[in-house]
């Protein structure tokens, strides 16, 4: 079978009247009208309608078509018939059909609840919507690589099993490492920092894990984290890189993924303004004032939660930065702002409809200052010994950031919930499938 030539549904749709074709795929939809059986055949490229009909298809193969239930895998041989009424403008009149793997009573029929579909994720992943989102995700990943290759960054591979917290102890997943405690990584940042002393500019795309306490529409327990770190780089340099990266990915999808964006019903005109870098920048203090003006009960020093972020994102049609947060709201490793040491050289990027997609900063590069901050926060200095070492041997100014890939995809694809931005989301009440 595999030595024979097959065409994809996409190629078949482009072929001329009367072309002989052989296709393989799965039964997406199925209708028996007596004299004719209509099968919508699905493969990784798309769908095409197959017709088995009396007077053209031999009787025994019409019977096969009748038995080809939803999600059976099949091979079809036939002839292209161009017909403007057929989806995609052409269909296949079948001469021969073969069921490769039967499917009886596929458990998803339409109209099921979200919870049910999560239980059946291993099957639901075949849906057109999820297939399209996975293709978008693939194209997004490609555009990240394109960007960093063009910028001379090294792609590196940090560990997933770690011994200390990067973003605080509250969201750590503990694992048993041969009788000793270890943790699933929250961020590759410290390892990237170690690598800049030789490679200077590094990035990685890897899972991060957060034992988030609440289930929200933009939190995953396991998510994919794009992280960047560069020696000699100041906060502003890193912000420029971040917005260049984001605008590059927007251009890339608007140029190469219009089909996918249309299939999921994305209004692409909403993404157009984000093609160009130069996203707005506001200080945290200004963000607080904007919120107060809008009647939000918030004061300088309060953290910005999901609600506050939503109100702020409504002010802009592109992603934007919030910078200079009060130090106590942010991580211990961030460098204080020289003219306001109670604030840090930190930046978040917020995207429309989603809120924070990037968190970054310039890092504290002074040994004593960093050690002092570790102690002030009540952390165990021993666990950070190697991280402190980086400031002992040839320290340099450096900055970096982390981008939540599913959050970016949520924005790009216009999703209300993060779960469909990743093929198999993990949930608190189940690791299944």
Our finding on whether 96 is near ligand 4AD (CB under 6 A) is no
Looking at residue 334, the DSSP 8-state letter turns out to be B
Cβ proximity to ligand 4AD: between 270 and 356 the closer is 356
In the list 359, 362, 364, 374, the residue contacting ligand 4AD (rule: CB under 6 A) is: 359
In the list 227, 243, 308, 365, the residue contacting ligand 4AD (rule: CB under 6 A) is: 227
Sign of CA dihedral 2, 22, 127, 358: positive
Our finding on whether 25 is near ligand 4AD (CB under 6 A) is no
Cβ proximity to ligand 4AD: between 49 and 185 the closer is 185
Using left for φ > 0, alpha for ψ between -120 and 50, and beta otherwise, residue 324 falls in left
Given 3-state DSSP classes, what are the helix, strand and coil percentages for the chain, each rounded to the nearest 5?
35, 30, 35
* Strand partners for 206: 225
Cα dihedral: 415, 417, 421, 423 (round 10): -140
Binding residues (CB under 5 A) for Mg ion: these are 359
Our finding on whether 365 is near ligand 4AD (CB under 6 A) is no
CB of 360 to ligand 4AD, least distance (A): 5
Our finding on whether 257 is near ligand 4AD (CB under 6 A) is no
DSSP 228-285: EEEET--HHHHHHHHHHHHHHHHHHHHHH-HHHHHHTT--GGGTGGGGSS---EEEHH
In the list 24, 201, 225, 337, the residue contacting ligand 4AD (rule: CB under 6 A) is: 225
- The partner in contact with residue 360, picked from Mg ion, ligand 4AD, none with C-beta cut-offs of 5 to 8 angstroms by kind, is ligand 4AD
Please say whether the beta carbons of 391 and 231 come within 8 A: no
- Whether the link from the prior residue into 188 is cis, omega within 30° of 0, is no
* Order of all β-strands in the sheet with 281-283: 154-155, 201-209, 222-231, 398-404, 355-362, 346-351, 320-323, 281-283
In the list 90, 320, 404, 409, the residue contacting ligand 4AD (rule: CB under 6 A) is: 404
Beta strands 201-209 and 222-231, pairing class: antiparallel
The candidate with the shortest Cα–Cα distance to 107, out of 67, 71, 132, is: 71
Segment near ligand 4AD (CB under 6 A); pick from 15-23, 106-114, 222-230, 294-302: 222-230
CB of 356 to Mg ion, least distance (A): 6
Our finding on whether 419 is near ligand 4AD (CB under 6 A) is no
Segment near ligand 4AD (CB under 6 A); pick from 103-111, 133-141, 154-162, 216-224: 216-224
DSSP 57-89: S-HHHHHHHHH--TT-EEEEEEEEEE-TTSGGG
Query: Mask: binding to ligand 4AD, 160-179, rule CB under 6 A, as x and -?
Result: ------xx------------
Please say whether the beta carbons of 381 and 387 come within 8 A: no
Our finding on whether 189 is near ligand 4AD (CB under 6 A) is yes
Our finding on whether 358 is near ligand 4AD (CB under 6 A) is yes
Cβ proximity to Mg ion: between 78 and 359 the closer is 359
CB of 406 to ligand 4AD, least distance (A): 6
- The partner in contact with residue 401, picked from ligand 4AD, Mg ion, none with C-beta cut-offs of 5 to 8 angstroms by kind, is ligand 4AD
Our finding on whether 357 is near ligand 4AD (CB under 6 A) is yes
Our finding on whether 223 is near ligand 4AD (CB under 6 A) is yes
Question: Taking each helix axis from N to C terminus, what angle separates 284-293 and 306-313, rounded to the nearest 10 degrees?
Answer: 80
Our finding on whether 345 is near ligand 4AD (CB under 6 A) is no
Cβ proximity to Mg ion: between 355 and 359 the closer is 359
Looking at residue 382, the DSSP 8-state letter turns out to be G
Number of residues that bind ligand 4AD (CB under 6 A): 22
Residues within the interface to ligand 4AD (CB under 6 A): 166-167, 187, 189, 210, 212, 219-220, 223, 225, 227, 356-360, 400-402, 404, 406-407
């Amino acid at each position: 079978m595999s030595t024979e030539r097959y065409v994809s549904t996409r190629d078949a749709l482009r072929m001329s009247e009367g072309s002989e074709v052989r296709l393989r795929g799965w039964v997406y939809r199925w209708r028996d009208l007596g004299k004719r059986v209509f099968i919508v055949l699905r493969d990784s490229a798309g769908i095409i309608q197959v017709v088995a009909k009396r007077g053209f298809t031999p009787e025994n193969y019409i019977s096969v078509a009748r038995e080809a239930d939803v999600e059976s895998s099949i091979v079809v041989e036939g002839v292209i018939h161009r017909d403007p009424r057929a989806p995609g403008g052409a269909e296949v009149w079948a001469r021969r059909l073969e069921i490769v793997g039967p499917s009886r009573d596929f458990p998803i029929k339409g109209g099921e609840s979200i919870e049910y579909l999560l239980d059946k994720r291993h099957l639901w992943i075949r849906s057109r919507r999820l297939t399209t989102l996975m293709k978008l995700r693939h194209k997004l990943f490609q555009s990240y690589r394109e960007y960093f290759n063009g910028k001379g960054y090294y792609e590196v591979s940090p560990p997933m099993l770690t011994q200390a917290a990067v973003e605080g102890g509250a969201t750590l997943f503990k694992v048993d490492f041969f009788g000793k405690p270890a943790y699933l990584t929250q961020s590759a940042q410290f390892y990237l920092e170690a690598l800049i002393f030789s490679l200077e500019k590094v990035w990685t795309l890897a899972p991060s894990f957060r034992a988030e306490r609440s289930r929200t529409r933009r939190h995953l327990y396991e998510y994919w984290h794009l992280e960047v770190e560069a020696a000699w780089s100041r906060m502003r340099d890193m912000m420029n890189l971040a917005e260049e990266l984001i605008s590059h990915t927007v251009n890339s999808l608007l140029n190469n993924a219009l089909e996918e964006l249309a299939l999921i019903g994305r209004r692409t005109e909403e993404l157009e303004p984000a093609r160009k870098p130069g996203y707005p920048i506001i200080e945290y203090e200004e963000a607080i004032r904007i919120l107060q003006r809008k009647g939000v009960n918030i004061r300088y020093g309060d953290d910005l939660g999901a609600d506050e972020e939503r109100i702020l994102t409504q002010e802009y049609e592109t992603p934007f930065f919030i910078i200079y947060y009060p130090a106590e709201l942010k991580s211990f490793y961030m460098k204080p702002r020289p003219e306001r040491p109670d604030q840090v050289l930190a930046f978040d990027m917020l995207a429309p409809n989603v809120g924070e997609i990037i968190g970054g900063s310039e890092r504290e590069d002074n040994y004593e200052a960093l050690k002092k901050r570790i102690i002030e926060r009540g952390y165990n200095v021993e666990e950070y010994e190697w991280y402190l070492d980086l400031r002992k041997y040839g320290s340099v100014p450096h900055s970096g950031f982390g981008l939540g890939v599913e959050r970016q995809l949520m924005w790009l694809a216009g999703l209300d919930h993060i779960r469909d931005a990743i093929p198999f989301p993990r949930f608190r009440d189940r690791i299944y499938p």
